[in-house]
Structures are given as structure tokens and as C-alpha cells.
Amino acid sequence: MIEITNLVKAYDGIKGVDGLSLRVEPGQILGLVGPNGAGKTTTLRCLAGIIPATSGRITIAGFDLRDRPTEARQCLAFVPDEPYLFDHLTVRDHLTLFARLYRVDDGQAHADTLLRDAALTDLELAFPTELSRGMKQKLVVACALLHRPRVLVLDEPLTGLDPAAMRQMKRTVRQTADDGAAIIISSHMLHLVEEVCDRVLIVSRGRTVLEGTLTDIRAELPDVDADADLETLFLRATGADGGS
């Protein structure tokens, strides 16, 4: 379970995230959407413990990120918007390292499964510089899923993936949620969010604009069609549709 309460992240006194709160239950997928500079990545980085929050409380699987960071991180996996990998480690080395970092007892066997799912088995001795961006992204996701996280945070997970890999990624995310993980996906690909996520949180200027299922959001916004898609709802909610 993920719980963020009144999160504030300020840079030189300017608030990038301003009092954001959210809650994601096990098995649920929350889509985090917002215009550029809305504070999505900052929120996810605070949640993953990469940057410290200025104030507010973050709880991951019941562990307070500030008081018990190691336990909280043990339950969490973060997939950043850029596939950060170690250039001197092979694909297999990455999985070996992550198995040790997260103490995955069946690391070898689970790594084999993940490599097979990501179609990386033949590339297990390749270095990241020998992989395409999509392959790197798949490897990052494989590393993230290796320890069967209870909380999964994905920042723009489909960037650089081909259509088949996108489909595979969506299946993987859904399967991980079905296995009981709480998931947050931040993406500008609104069709992905609409297709995969159970609930949506629209943020703008570091604050929550709307939150709920698509039906909830449609109900919150006046003068929208009953079958309005997320793109329409997003543009209306953030005022990016010019008020039309």
C-alpha cells in the first residue's frame, strides 16, 4: 500500500509539489497525469526515496519512508523515465546484483523467467551500450520486478518501447497488480493510463486537481460528455483546452 499525506517539496522556497496526498491500495493501479512541470516526477522521486520531501509523510507497505527507509525500500521498485543502468555490467550481472541487493532467494530462477518474458535471454551477456533504448527499458523493468515488489512506481514506462513490448509491459503491470502490488504510473500517454489504471490523479502546479475513477472525474467536471475520454477530461481539468 502507498500512502502520501500532504507532501511538499520545495526548491529554494518554490513549491514543486504543494500538499499532495494520495492512497493506493494493494492490487490497485493509480495513473498520475498532469502537464509538464506539474510535479509528477518530483512526487515519484520523493516516493522512491530518491529526494527527501520538504514536509509530509510517505508510507510504503506500512513503513514510514523517513523513519524506516531500508524496510520501505525493500518493498518498493522504481522505474525511472530514463533507463539508468551500469555500463560495465552485463544484462545478467544486473539481475545478479539486484538479486543480492534485495536478497531474492530464487534470484537466478526468477531472473531467467523475467529475461525470457522480456525477450532478453539471448542478450544476457550484452552490455547496456549494446542494447536499444527499448531493451534497456525492459531490463530496468526486469530488475525492478525481480524482488516481487509490493509497491511499484513507474515513470513513463512505455517510452522507447515497440508495440509488442508495450503490450507486454501493460500485461506485466496488470499482472503485478493482480499479484497484490500497489502501483503508480506516471505517463503522458493518456490512452495507457485509461486502459491500465483503476484510478486517475490529475495534478497541476504540484496540487491535486481531480482524483478518482474516470466515472468519478466525469461527474466532477460540469458539461462533459458521459463517454468523454481521459484526454478530454485532462484538458478540461487542467484548463489546457482553453475553456472550451
Residues contributing to the site for another protein (CB under 8 A): 11-12, 14-16, 37, 39, 41-42, 45, 48-52, 69-71, 73-74, 76-78, 80, 82, 84-90, 93, 96-97, 99-108, 125, 127-130, 205-206
CB of 125 to another protein, least distance (A): 4
Q: Decide whether 97 or 224 has the Cβ nearer to another protein.
A: 97
CB of 164 to another protein, least distance (A): 26
Q: Decide whether 106 or 178 has the Cβ nearer to another protein.
A: 106
Q: Decide whether 94 or 218 has the Cβ nearer to another protein.
A: 94
Kindly calculate the radius of gyration of the chain based on its CA atoms and give it in whole angstroms. Answer: 18
User: 2-11 and 14-24 as β-strands: parallel, antiparallel, unpaired?
Assistant: antiparallel
> What separation in angstroms does the CA of 198 have from each of 3, 6, 182, 220?
16, 22, 11, 17
CB of 166 to another protein, least distance (A): 23
As a whole number of Å, the end-to-end CA separation of the chain is 38
Which uninterrupted H or E stretch holds 155? strand 151-155
CB of 129 to another protein, least distance (A): 5
The b/e string for 19-32 (b: 16+ C-beta within 10 A; e otherwise) is: ebebebeeebbbbb
